[in-house]
Structure 1
């Protein structure tokens, strides 16, 4: 069994943090790539990469120290800068997801942005702006080189904007002022301050530089939180000196020169024909600013996020009420005003083409991408409102169902990573969910119901209840899908229902503690129920002769699981002990002490060290691997462990998250934050820029700031292996972590070089190297050549050749075989190819069914055509033989009678 599992994607949240309500800086920005088809969305301390064309999502392997506050992508999509709430920055190679450099800013950073030329990037530095040189391609010891620090704003800087030629930078502040600087020293220029707002300035943007503007900045738009937009115009002194007659003469001379093929020069501008060589910063020396227009959005709420598409003159505004507005400037025409949510919109983005608008609501972990011309949603994703609690894999491993504290059940596609259905039937937190078959998912809840949902119509078609009100904590379905069982918190009963008619069949009594886990035997009708009373009872639901056999433990049992063949069962107790039992005679096979493996992590309010607090760490969920040789276990800790049963050893240990914004990640707390009353963490996630700021109440010795907020603890609620064995998933407070063996980078040993020719294919065929010849022909992608190679392969070598084909060429090979099969007389030969491909690569096709569906349908169509033809010929032959037989019988009877 392989153990090189890597985090493939983080499902359950497309944007935001798990503790968004406790942090005012939880609304990190979202960024489009240069193509406009890929969206980067920060989730907790990771970055989700969402492809809007293929509707897939992947998670970058790099991980920040704490929740991300801002990200910035270079214009060539080569470098990604990630800055977290603690002002720790990472320089990442975006395409390879490799961390190149780490850096720490000494003051608060709220925004970061690359210049259009890619040579600089600017960050907000408390009340200042810092411009740094962008790292080059050459590896450097310290790639961050400071260019200059810009000052002059009275309060914290909120946003940054660059001019189109990267020579001018503009920043807005909480004081309501906007300040403009030149990146390099410009003779005669003084920084410009625009103060026309009564509240915090949310954003400031340059107008598009038109062809007739001479490369000069004409207008600037500033937006404030109180819903006001101010348009600032810049007038230049050299333009005022030109009168109307000179302008008319200049236009006429330019038209005449262009008619005769000459080059036109502006002789009336200062500097003559070299005027176009001046930068926008040099033009600003001669400019004066004034308010040209003032507009209002007329919404009874604050503006929380803005963005501006310079190429399309489109302004997008997000409000605290969940409404957004799309305006066309400079006319301020309202194109759309729609309500997306009832929560605050913290960030908005628009791609370069101006077609797709992206919105992020951190309090609901909601991400929306909207196409405003067609008024349709491209993506609409939302996580569980109060966290994820349980999960279950479908039998084919393609769908994952998750239950949340908000009472909803979400269905996730493991190939794309998106939620495609949300079932809202429960009114209380969902405690367990399980698939009955590929089309039915059942869930239990604290509202006292067990509900069955149809995955074809996406509705609740049956509800199971108990005679008396109770809270269900566990759920299981027998392998045949006929019996549903659920355990309760109180009165410690196990209820059984018929799946077909919903009638209550039996109530299993005998436990004296809450039922923590229910599992059916894979091949028999035996039910195992684990309870807090320290026992696991084995019930035979079909015989019910005598009392159930009870397996006693020294401590409360919190989890159990059967091996896929049903010969073993593993149980976990609150002491961190995993016990393996023989299911035939209930004999103890071995015990694995995992208390030291899962121990670690000290919470902020703990009065003891992590080593002394290890008694509270134990496994709450276990499951067997697909081959039954290993056990995957997770619990109220940041670790997930894989144990080998026969050797009783720890094979590998995974840490779910390194996010220091969560509680229980660090084993040792910072001694500077230890007060008289215990550990304190005053400035964590705070927006205050003063490093000496203290939120302690006057006279208070315990560091009490009056708030009663608690940090989210990193724990694992449930773990599960996929039936294919290629991946496993864990439910934590951050979402659904999917770890997979499948690597996105596919190694292809044959490239298109000068040696890859049809002659090379035939040479390998003469040498009987059929697998190499097939690979080369697939690279050349010529149908006649591929058919020649396929029909030259001996029948006994088909299995070996198919085994040598990697997943990167499998889809094309299926297409070629389906095309060759249509008019080929070698039907059995190609059917053997189809059979071997399903045998060798069936699991991979099932996992990536969306990729192979088109080729599989084409291959199925070819087989179906031959099947129909053969059926028609056989039917005709059968009727012909019947007719000949009847005629022969009649002739024999006539001869006999005569």
Structure 2
């Protein structure tokens, strides 16, 4: 039960800026979480930290160790990225429009409303409040939207909505009024400002400002201004003596706190700047929404509100690329460290792209499900995960890497159900468009489509274990259609339900089909014998879903009154009933007239999933909780809260009356400025499919809920299809100290002594009783290959599962493949009969073993294919002396 959050899949990018660290680490906001994608390894993870609302600003330290994330409620997290931990928290006093670390990593600048604040970076320091504000600049007349540091971290270039950019000296200058230099002439807000560097002297000699109306200004720096020199010169002999004394004292500069001023030093903010040129991007009425500058390549990338981006060579303003990647505005555009990759984000489409501009090819093209994810299912080997959503798409994900490698778009309406076939390389999907489609994700194609004589809306789907027939339940005609998988012909139409057939599942070990319907019944069908209904289980309320236990001897169903019923499929009697209304309750929507405690809507489970061994069950519905129950004792073991994001409806139990106005809840009033470019409309995401009877359509913010659950056949993880995407919870891989049959003689020293005396069977037995992972693995490797069979025979039956788990871990992380496969073979041979007798208990361990062996086989096959082609090439090349 030690499940913890592991990853988030299928969630759309909803706005905010992306950053790239270490040249290949792409860090982007995903709702109120942070996603980190390794572009070289194509591996994606979601940090196990979350803010109180959607993240709008990110900034990473130069070495990529620290990350600052600021959400819409102005709350800030200071995160250690390698350790995936929050070090410090704070809250700013206003809306954050810009955020950036200094190049030396000691400070970060933040635009808070009209103010620019300089803070010391807390780093690894431990303090009650580790942040220290060093300086505040209050010279802007409108919101600050862009920041740029000079390479020496001495100057700050600030762009604001008051049509001006300002150059500040971060250092305090004693005796002189530290006024910023103003860059004027823009006719719209300055969305980007950058320093240009002389490659010979490595000093700032230029500046670029990009206005929202599509114009770019190039500014040149030519040293001290005469007026500033006169202003700094001492006007009296006494003042001259004071300046000389002060200059002698100021020999060192500590970074920011020392108010120093070296003799003869130039200050760019008091120097002479001149406008060199003014260039237009010529995009008509399109506005500039994102831009970035790479100093090494001297290039500027600009994204527009019409989905076009341009790449320009400076200082001559030569257009290298001008391409359209969407019809919606681009909300982020950024270079990587080397400047060879460009990252673009489109919040309206929920899409992130990484583009290699020299070869004009995509490095990454990821897009989450824009609307709610309806269904999720694991493959039989637990390596892949398929998702279907209201955006009519089916996506297949690699669980290990977190990357989507296939997207099927042939459906024309919401995808409502998915089912992996036993061959592990084909997938079935049902949709409201009246089709059931079979997908081959080896050839990336839809190889068969199952239809009906008259259009129907399908809401449930399953296939028998042998893969001979495909069954789908309908929303409108209340029928169950049975097709032959090979021919695609309708074999039978099962009638009897009087309401939508919302749940379908074949028994894992028999050929009995179970169906649940809103007509208060669960029916069992013998599809192959054509006997019609075998048995009917009557309920008091609408049945929302049904699922079989992995051994097929028990069936669970949940009803609209919040109860879970467990039925004995052999005797046809009710075994247990769990009352879950109080467990699933929680969370109040903005539009609710009643409090969450007094409301009766939504207090029911809509999806169920048995554990791999069938001892407990997971249940979820229109709530922020996923409940885990022990079946035999009918008790709640644990509740998982799927999100703390206040940007979603249904997270809070109590609403604040301060946010209620005469026009309705303040959060639902669209009073945002049309010039905002940081995200998408709060009310644009929603549900395109269908809802439960009596439920209200979603007309406000997205409502938090779980529409689908699926547990991996290995039992090591489970996935939940939620409003925010697909959450994956996994068991911590590190084994805790949990000994069995422990007595005074079972010690690590006794295991070491047994290995030294070459009594490996006794050593393995002692390590199993001690249940120490490192000792078990050491004993496995202490056995010589000829003795594996004898040692395997000596392993007691109750330790088989633990031994298999150790072998699985070794197969995934150890190069001694032949030795470990020999172990697996001997265990299956010697203990075959006991494995069959205890099939239900050992099933998760066997699935994990199958997954590890399959992955090793695939890796070897790829390696052999590569070597074969290499050898063919080498043999075909003639010898040259």
Q: Deviations over 1:623-678 (max 9, x none)?
A: 11110111111111111111110010111110111100000000011231234576
Cα distance in 2 for residues equivalent to 1:809 and 1:51: 25
Find the counterpart in structure 2 of residue 478 from structure 1. 464
The Cα shift of 1:764 comes to 9.6
Flag the 1:817–1:484 CA change in 2: closer, same or farther, 3 A.
closer
What's the CA shift for 1:330?
A: 1.2
Check if 1:716 corresponds to 2:706. Answer: yes
Is the counterpart of residue 571 in structure 1 residue 568 in structure 2?
no
- Aligned match of 1:292: 276
Aligned residue for 2:421, secondary structure, equals: strand
Matched residues, number: 767
Give the structure 2 partner of residue 646 of structure 1.
632
Q: CA deviation at 1:810?
A: 4.6
**Cα separation, 2, equivalents of 1:830 and 1:480:** 26
In 2 relative to 1, CA 295–10 (structure 1 residues): closer, same or farther, beyond 3 Å?
same
Asked whether the 8 Å contact 2:396–2:405 carries over to 1, the reply is yes
Q: Which moved more, 1:646-655 or 1:151-160?
A: 151-160
In the alignment, structure 1 residue 737 sits paired with structure 2 residue 735: no
Structure 2 residue matching 1:597: 3-state secondary structure: helix
Hey, what's the Cα distance between the residues in 1 that align with 2:806 and 2:466?
Answer: 37
Pairing 1:201-280 to 2, within 5 Å after superposition: 201-212=190-201, 215=203, 217-237=204-224
State the partner residue of 1:194: 183
State the TM-score, normalizing by the size of structure 2.
0.80
SS at match of 2:815: helix
Aligned to 1:702: none
Q: 1:161 aligns with which of 148, 164, 172?
A: 148
1:103 correspondence with 2:90:
yes
Q: Which runs of 5+ in 1 are unaligned?
A: 18-26, 242-269, 691-707, 748-760, 775-785, 822-827, 862-898
Give, in angstroms, the shift of residue 375 of structure 1.
2.1
Residue of structure 2 aligned with 1:339, choices 324, 334, 338: 324
CA RMSD of the aligned region, Å?
A: 3.7
Q: Deviations over 1:702-723 (max 9, x none)?
A: xxxxxx9610000100111111
1:744 and 1:303 map into 2 onto residues whose CA distance is: 49
Q: CA deviation at 1:857?
A: 5.6
Separation in structure 2 between the aligned mates of residue 378 and residue 90 of structure 1, nearest angstrom: 29
Q: 1:279 and 1:231, CA in 2 relative to 1: closer, same or farther beyond 3 A?
A: farther
Paired residues of 2:524 and 2:533 also in contact (CA < 8 A):
no
For 1:466-865, list aligned pairs within 5 A. Answer: 466-545=452-531, 547-675=533-661, 679-681=665-667, 686=672, 710-743=700-733, 766-768=756-758, 796-797=790-791, 810=811, 813-815=814-816, 817=818, 852=856
1:26-105 to 2 correspondences below 5 Å: 27-33=15-21, 35-105=22-92
Cα distance in 2 for residues equivalent to 1:466 and 1:642: 38
- Counterpart CA distance in 1 for 2:848 and 2:823 is 23
1:138 maps to which residue? 125
- Using the size of structure 1 for normalisation, the TM-score is 0.79
Give SS of 1:681's match.
Answer: helix
Deviation (angstroms), 1:175? 2.4
What SS does structure 2 have at the residue aligned with 1:505? strand
Cα distance between partner residues in 1 of 2:119 and 2:817: 54
Contact 1:535 1:550 in 2 (8 A): yes
Report the counterpart of residue 306 of structure 1 in structure 2.
Answer: 291
Q: Secondary structure at the match of 1:596?
A: helix
After superposition, the Cα gap between the structure-2 partners of 1:281 and 1:565, relative to the gap in structure 1 and judged at 3 Å, is: farther
SS of equivalent residue, structure 1 residue 378: strand
Cα shift readout 1:221-271 (whole Å, capped 9, x = no counterpart): 011122211100111148999xxxxxxxxxxxxxxxxxxxxxxxxxxxx99
Instruction: Name the counterpart of 1:395.
Output: 380
Cα distance, 1:621–1:206 mapped onto 2, change above 3 Å: same
Question: Are the aligned partners of 2:425 and 2:441 in contact in 1 as well (CA < 8 Å)?
Answer: yes
Contact 1:765 1:789 in 2 (8 A): no
Structure showing greater radius of gyration is: 1
- 1:339 CA drift (Å): 2.1
Q: Which runs of 5+ in 2 are unaligned?
A: 229-246, 254-260, 677-697, 738-750, 768-779, 796-801, 836-841, 866-881
Q: Is the 8 A contact 2:714 2:846 kept in 1?
A: no
| Aligned counterparts of 2:154 and 2:823: Cα–Cα separation in 1 | 68
Q: Could you say which residue in structure 2 is the equivalent of 1:751?
A: none
What SS class does the counterpart of residue 211 from structure 1 fall into? coil
Cα-to-partner distance string for 1:463-483 (whole Å, 9 max, x where unaligned): 222222221111111111111
Which residue in 2 is equivalent to 1:16?
A: 13
Deviation at 1:811, TM superposition (A): 5.5
- Could you say what secondary structure the match of 1:616 adopts? coil
Deviation of 1:385 (Å): 3.0
